[in-house]
Structure 1
Amino acid sequence: MSEKMSEKHRFYEETISSKPIFEGRIISLQVDTVKLPNGETATREIVRHPGAVAVLALLDGKMLVVEQFRKPLEKAQVEIPAGKLDAGEEPIVAAMRELEEETGYKAKSIVLLQSFSTSPGFADEIIHLYFTDELAKGEVHLDEEEFLSCEAITLDQALAYVREGRICDAKTVMAVYAWRLYSLTGSF
């Protein structure tokens, strides 16, 4: 951590009160009243999320992706395998679980590439992006409400999907460009 815990950033917003608005299966919403650096108050709408994992998995030089319908966007999306963390679950365990559940492949080894916030202006969700190119056949275990198909695509296909908007979520776009860097330089 770059700042000491006792030191507050000069733009720090102290929480005065917090009001729960919604508690769902995956997210919760709260409205906080905060004291701004200039002494004024403001409200902040905050989405709480348990965090998630995603996996850039290469099989014989192709990236494993899943296609599924995303209701908030009202369209099908091509994405890398991903899913939310269960309570108390370590991200690396969740990454290996989600990879096998959605693609039917197990990672023999897996490496964390980056952990990043998805929408820090209103949500606390952190996604942990992992990489593997050491896969073994496993079994697909989709959740009861999960409908998707899996395929392996080339880097050129992935870049075309980004241009066409078939891939437009941040985690998958990041994975595609990380893969491109890896293919050009041999490292991330």
Structure 2
Amino acid sequence: MKKFEEKTIRTEKIYDGKVVKLQVDEVTLPDGKTAKRELIKHPGAVAIIPITKDKKIIFVEQYRKPLEKSLIEIPAGKLEQGEKPEVTAVRELEEETGYTTNQLKFVTSFYTSPGFADELMHMYLTDQLQPLTKKVAGDEDEFVELIELTLEEAKQYVKEQRIHDAKTNYAILYLEMLEMM
């Protein structure tokens, strides 16, 4: 057994939903004791940092039921079965913003909540936006409003906790780092 590895003894599947699967694993710990782990299985996601010609970042505001409030975030969405992250990124950009792009720059991938979920998010940047001539239908249960902010305005929104999610904060830090170079 690896230094910190937890060996799965048994898995109980609790829920198989549209977005996530929930399971409880019984594991053997490195010291030989057993414990239970509540796990969320997720197909993965993408996030896009869209930059306009006038150097504004396009955000979407949408209601987040788990938080019971709206958040201002960069566009993002779930990977569909067998879909490449770059394809998901363009699809989500089109659905959520009404823009498309032929140029994506890979920024990074990261685990969103590794303490209980396996979701891996892939982040891309584009500054080559083209408005769509015909609106693309998004998810029927998703309602968003576009907000364009400069980097300085976005940083102020972070201070005010109007931008308050990890992927969007990561995106703003990344853009700030690019500015410093």
TM range (shorter): over 0.9
1:116-164 superposed Cα distances (whole Å, 9 cap, x missing partner) = 0011000000110101111111134321111111121101110011111
Q: How does 1:62-101 map to 2 (within 5 A)?
A: 62-101=56-95
Partner of 1:3: none
Distance 1:82 1:48, change over 3 A: same
1:115 has 2:109 as partner: yes
Distance of 1:151 and 1:170 partners within structure 2 = 18
Q: Which residue identity does 1:13 align to in structure 2?
A: E
Q: Stretches of 4+ moved more than 3 A in 1?
A: none
1:142 has 2:135 as partner: no
Using the size of structure 1 for normalisation, the TM-score is 0.92
Q: How far did 1:63 drift?
A: 0.4
SS in structure 1 of the partner of residue 93 of structure 2: helix
1:15 has 2:8 as partner: yes
Count of residues paired in the alignment: 178
Distance of 2:121 and 2:50 partners within structure 1 = 16
Q: How far did 1:108 drift?
A: 2.0
1:106 has 2:100 as partner: yes
1:58-98 superposed Cα distances (whole Å, 9 cap, x missing partner) = 10201010001111111110000000000111011000110
Using the size of structure 2 for normalisation, the TM-score is 0.95
Identity %: 49
Question: Unpaired segments of 5 or more residues in structure 2?
Answer: none
CA contact (8 A) 1:104 1:141 kept: no
Q: Which residue identity does 2:139 align to in structure 1?
A: D
Distance of 1:96 and 1:129 partners within structure 2 = 12
Q: Which residue identity does 2:157 align to in structure 1?
A: Y
